[in-house]
Amino acid sequence: MTYSEFKQLVLSYFKEQLGHSVKISIQPVIKNNHVTFDGLLILESGCNATPSLYLNYYYDKLKNGADIESVLRLLLDTYQSNKLTENIDVRFFTEYENVSGRILYKLINASQNKELLQEIPHIKFLDLAIVFYCLVSTNDVGSATILIRNQHLSLWNVTPDMLHQQAAYNTPRLMPPKLIDMNSLLQEFAPDFIDSNSFTPSPLYVLTNSEKLYGAAAILDARILKNFSITKNNDFYILPSSIHEVLLFPANQQFNPAELNKMVQEVNQTQLSREDVLSDHVYYYSLQEQSIKIISEPITDSTCTRNHKAAHTS
């Protein structure tokens, strides 16, 4: 079955299950790193908003051996579990005072999102960009967010710096940073993988946030980076695992930056969905300078490229 045939079958199936009075369409949705998905939009009477179901994900299940009936049923069950039962009052978004307490930031790749960055407020950070979103709601199923665009700033009469200051306060409050060593993480999610009797902390640490959503932005918290460096009595490397997390490990020995960068690039190409990729570069945190740098050659006191002070959060 071709992808085009799959999309037509999905439309027919949902019209049959929900009735022809329901408005059903498939619209392209541009995600991070200019990745485009086909979103199935279903608008029932009495609702002015709907979750977007990305059909590419379900077609992959079909290609991987799932039968069409189970894929269609999964689509319908997912919609039924996440659909809204009443209208959303969009007027709350017209006043900055209503949304200011829910404005957070995240990190995305600057070069991979050039077109998007023309439409949204942002602040450059190394080879990345700090962008902003409104956290509408969060629950066991997931989080609903709205990306903040230039027209929102015009509507609210605020500047990107004001937005950044608000997000720097909100983000660690609503999504507290979470730092855990890799062995503890494996013991938590796969207790049979590690012998508890011989357990030792790993030198590799995962830095994310409590929701594991856009957790790579935790590197903007100067306190987290400084405290980790002091605790380990060393500078450390930062590997951009994804937009949702980064890996930290102390710089106890020299590493070849070219090899580290190559390793990150291979993981990005083979293990991550393109929309989850943060960067192909490894970073280095210097306690003396209290800054993050993109490394390009073996680390010495003077051989680093661009650097950026971590943002202070209060």
For every residue of 102-145, DSSP letters joined together read GEEEEEEESGGGHHHHTTS-EEEETTEEEEEEEEEEE-SS-EEE
Percentage of the chain beyond pLDDT 90 is 65
3-state secondary structure (DSSP) of residue 160: helix
Structure tokens, 298: 């073996």
Average of per-residue pLDDT across 29-43: 90
Q: What is the pLDDT of residue 311?
A: 57
Q: How many Å apart are CA 295 and CA 282, to the nearest integer?
A: 6
Name the more confident of 239 and 52: 239
Pick from 132, 223, 122: which is nearest to 176 by CA? 223
Name the more confident of 286 and 302: 286
The count of other CB atoms within 10 Å of the CB of residue 97 is: 8
Q: How many Å apart are CA 176 and CA 226, to the nearest integer?
A: 16
CA distances from 188 to 8, 65, 181, 201, 230 (A): 43, 31, 11, 13, 26
Provide the 8-state DSSP code for 168: H
Please report, to the nearest 10 degrees, the dihedral formed by the alpha carbons of residues 284, 286, 289, 293 taken in order. 0
The count of other CB atoms within 10 Å of the CB of residue 25 is: 10
Q: What is the pLDDT of residue 6?
A: 96
The least confident of 202-216, 260-274, 295-309 is: 295-309
Q: What is the mean pLDDT of the chain?
A: 86
The least confident of 9-23, 105-119, 235-249 is: 9-23
132-148: b or e for each residue (b if 16 or more CB lie within 10 Å)? bbbbeeeeeeeebbbeb
Name the more confident of 228 and 141: 228
Size (the chain), residues: 314
Model confidence at 305, in pLDDT bands (50, 70, 90)?
very low
Q: What is the pLDDT of residue 303?
A: 41
Percentage of the chain beyond pLDDT 70 is 82
Q: What is the pLDDT of residue 257?
A: 77
Q: Is the pLDDT confidence value at 252 over 60? A: yes
- Mapping DSSP onto H, E and C, the string for 3-53 reads HHHHHHHHHHHHHHHHCCCCEEEEEEEECHHHCEEEEEEEECCCCCCCCCE
Displacement of CA 222 from its chain's centroid (Å): 20
Pick from 253, 212, 186, 14: which is nearest to 106 by CA? 212
Pick from 58, 13, 57: which is nearest to 35 by CA? 57
Q: What is the pLDDT of residue 32?
A: 92
Pick from 261, 247, 221, 209: which is nearest to 125 by CA? 221
Structure tokens, 49: 């908003």
